[in-house]
Structure 1
């Protein structure tokens, strides 16, 4: 199994309550930046990724960039 990681950069910080919801719905989600504008999601399937993007858009978050990384390399 290939270890896949997605990095999503948001225009504005993500609310703590929304981050809690995301962490409840999806495993292996981190927000490494202090400002909460980056989400890193690991080992997620395409349907779950789409659900995450829809949730972000539905809550008014603008996704500036979306990158897939395999073994630390950008794809």
Structure 2
């Protein structure tokens, strides 16, 4: 049986889950570095999107926990 699961924003490494709603999040692909004079180090422009939003052309596969285990061994 083939796994033909359709990829969505929640599968992208740039998707950051919202703390108040696990079904929504922010796309962090457009984050920008702020000057050293600012208290924060980065600025992430964007809006809240749902996790099942279709992928864009900047999609990159999120590494799973299996990849983390392989790199630590």
Question: Per the shorter chain, which TM-score range?
Answer: under 0.3
Bigger fraction of residues in strand: 1
Larger CA Rg, structure 1 vs 2? 2
Bigger fraction of residues in helix: 1
TM-score, normalised on structure 1? 0.24
TM-score, normalised on structure 2? 0.24
Higher relative contact order (CA 8 A, sep 6+): 1
